[in-house]
Amino acid sequence: MQSVSSDKHQPRRTTNLSVETARPASNNPTTNTPSVLFVGNLSYFCEESQLHSLFDEYCYVQHVRIHRNEAKTRSLQFGFITVSSPGEAKKMESMLNNHLFMGRKLR
């Protein structure tokens, strides 16, 4: 994930396989809150099913979305993976950061 600052003098910071926790639907603290992983540096030809299979080996994957160009012909080289909990997301972040997938290192 890239965080962009409004101050042009500060460099952009990038984080590899970053984790964002979705807001719970209720204020109930016992609710299992899903987390979203940003995955960058994907192959142009990566399919959602391939990315799902890779992450599904390590934890339960709820949803995978790869962003594509307007013609839907190739990946924009990033996507999002929704997993069941923040703990699962942190586990994926540590296990698959810089993992070689389809000839490219995931970030």
pLDDT in tens, 15-61: 456 555 554 444 444 457 899 999 999 999 999 999 999 999 989 99
**Contact predicate 36/45, CB 8 Å:** no
Confidence of residue 72 (pLDDT cuts 50, 70, 90): confident
**In order of start, what are the domains of the chain with their CATH numbers?**
33-107 (3.30.70.330)
The runs of H, that is alpha helices, within 1-107 are 48-56, 86-96
What is the helix (H) or strand (E) element at residue 13, kind and residue range?
Answer: strand 13-14
Angle between helix axes 48-56 and 86-96 (nearest 10 degrees) is 100
Q: What are the C-alpha distances in Å from 36 to residues 79, 86, 90?
A: 10, 8, 10
How do beta strands 35-40 and 13-14 pair?
Answer: unpaired
